[in-house]
Amino acid sequence: MAEVKVTLKKSLIGRKQDQIKTCQALGLTRPGRTVVKTRNAAIDGMLNKVLHLVEIEEVK
């Protein structure tokens, strides 16, 4: 499985509650925080929901 590096680029202040909870579930609690996740259908769906808040990079 491929891995992705996800970085929170924008603040969660003033965002919808479901977007905040999705970022928290990904481990992104404040701007600048980066996590590495194994890509699967669940992670892809979560990333799609907060795509405008994060930066995604493929990890080799």
The conformation of residue 39, written as its DSSP 8-state character, comes to: -
The tens digit of pLDDT for each residue in 11-37 reads 999 999 999 999 999 999 999 999 999
CA distance 9 to 42: 21
Q: pTM of the predicted model, to two decimals?
A: 0.91
Domains of the chain: 3-59 (3.30.1390.20)
Q: What is the pLDDT of residue 53?
A: 97
Structure tokens at 41: 């259908």
Q: What stretch of H or E contains 17? A: helix 17-26
